[in-house]
Amino acid sequence: SAVISQKPSRDICQRGTSLTIQCQVDSQVTMMFWYRQQPGQSLTLIATANQGSEATYESGFVIDKFPISRPNLTFSTLTVSNMSPEDSSIYLCSVQTLDWEDTEAFFGQGTRLTVV
Partner 1 sequence: KNEVEQSPQNLTAQEGEFITINCSYSVGISALHWLQQHPGGGIVSLFMLSSGKKKHGRLIATINIQEKHSSLHITASHPRDSAVYICAVYSNTGNQFYFGTGTSLTVIP
Supply the minimum distance, in Å, between the C-beta of residue 96 and partner 1.
Answer: 8
Supply the minimum distance, in Å, between the C-beta of residue 74 and partner 1.
Answer: 19
Residue 99 CA: distances (Å) to CA of 1, 4, 24, 52, 96: 9, 17, 21, 25, 9
Supply the minimum distance, in Å, between the C-beta of residue 67 and partner 1.
Answer: 22
CA 79 to chain centre: 9
Q: How far apart, in whole angstroms, are the C-alpha atoms of residue 26 and residue 29?
A: 9
Supply the minimum distance, in Å, between the C-beta of residue 30 and partner 1.
Answer: 13
Which residue's CB is nearer to partner 1, number 64 or number 98?
Answer: 98
> Which residues are near partner 1 by CB under 8 A?
6, 9-10, 37, 40-43, 45, 90, 92, 96, 99, 101-112
Which residue's CB is nearer to partner 1, number 73 or number 90?
Answer: 90
Which residue's CB is nearer to partner 1, number 43 or number 72?
Answer: 43
DSSP for 37-87? E-TT---EEEEEEETTSPPEEPTT--TTTS-EEEEETTEEEEEE-S--GGG
